[in-house]
Amino acid sequence: RETNHVLAKTQLFLLFMSFSLAVEALHSFMQDESEHKHYLIVSAVTNLLVNLLGVWFFRSYARVNIVYRKAEDMNHHSICLHVLADSVRSAGLILASWFLSLGIENAEVLCLGIVSVAVFMLVMPLFKATGNVLLQIAPGNVPPSAFIKCGRQITACEDVSEVSQARFWELVPGHAVGCLSIRLKNSSDDESVLEYVHGLYEDLGIHDLTIQTEK
């Protein structure tokens, strides 16, 4: 869970970076700051080369949408998108400098605007996935009616008197967990009920299920 908080902070940073680039573009448009500075090109090219090396190192995660098999995958994907977003920003500065050298007006505004939109689009899928994990949103690949059906099937068991506090969420995207409380009748067989309940939810893809039993 601590990893998820770190990821959320990273995504917020990238989102704020995209917004700051948009504000910077607006500021440049209002102030007409279009002076060409050669040191910016050198800095941007150096930064771009270093970032491209980082993207190559995490090349297996260099996609906007990815299927996470474990929590480390989300962490590595976040790092890759961070480096990729910085690469896009450096490329935008290089392109703006080149356009300014050609005498194109408001080139900086145009390039920074494009970069801010690109960074925003890069970050949003991972930001939404991280938010769903932190908010413990129900798995999107399982329809709510399926959970309701399982609850009714459990309640219909002769050894079960009540099912309550059922909660299901994604620990990481693609890995769903859950918990619920079951009140059993005094003469019930706990092991058979637990085996039956686990089997129902495993069919839905809930492989980590915590069950509290009461009598």
Does the pLDDT at position 28 exceed 60?
no
Q: Mark whether 65 and 92 lie in a shared domain.
A: yes
Q: Which amino acid is at 8?
A: A
- Mean pLDDT of the region 11-21: 57
Distances (CA, A) of 147 to 31, 95, 112, 141, 178: 57, 52, 47, 12, 11
- Domain tally for the chain? 2
The confidence band for 104, taking pLDDT boundaries of 50, 70 and 90, is: confident
Of 169, 171, 168, 157, whose CA–CA distance to 213 is shortest? 157
Domain check: are 3 and 72 in the same one? yes
- CA 170 to chain CA centroid, Å, is 12
**Tokens 């491209």 identify what position?**
52
For residue 167, give the 3-state DSSP assignment. Answer: strand
CATH number of the domain at 160, please. 3.30.70.1350
9 and 90 belong to one structural domain:
yes
Tell me how far apart the alpha carbons of residues 49 and 90 are, in angstroms, rounded to a whole number.
9
In the predicted model, what is the mean pLDDT of residues 81-88? 81
Question: Residue ranges of the alpha helices (H) in the chain?
Answer: 2-31, 38-57, 71-101, 107-134, 144-155, 190-202
CA distance 115 to 88: 6
Instruction: Name residue, tokens 């859950």.
Output: 178
Q: Which residue would you say has higher pLDDT here, 20 or 193?
A: 193
Q: Which of 112, 135, 158 is the last residue of a domain?
A: 135
Tell me: do 64 and 7 sit in the same domain: yes
Last residue of a domain, one of 68, 100, 135: 135
Q: Are residues 108 and 149 in the same domain?
A: no
Regarding whether 172 and 100 lie in a shared domain, the answer is no
Same-domain pairing of 129 and 150: no
**Could you tell me if 66 and 22 lie in one domain?**
yes
Identify whether residues 127 and 160 lie together within a single domain.
no
Listed residues 92, 113, 135: the one ending a domain: 135
Q: What is the mean pLDDT of residues 36-43?
A: 62
| 8 A C-beta contact, residue 102 and residue 133 | no
| pLDDT for residue 106 is more than 70 | yes
Mean pLDDT is lowest, of 41-45, 73-77, 157-161, for 41-45
Residues 119 and 161 both lie in one domain: no
Residue 34 pLDDT > 50, yes or no? no
* Domain, as residue range, for 192: 144-213
Number of Cβ within 10 Å of residue 58's Cβ equals 17
What confidence tens digit (pLDDT) does each residue in 147-174 have?
999 989 998 888 888 888 889 988 777 7
* Cβ neighbours for 64, distance < 8 A, ≥ 6 positions apart: 81, 121, 122, 125
CA 173, CA 19: separation in Å to the nearest integer?
Answer: 26
From the list 141, 171, 139, the residue with the least C-alpha distance to 72 is 171
63 lies in the same domain as 149: no
Q: Are residues 68 and 90 in the same domain?
A: yes
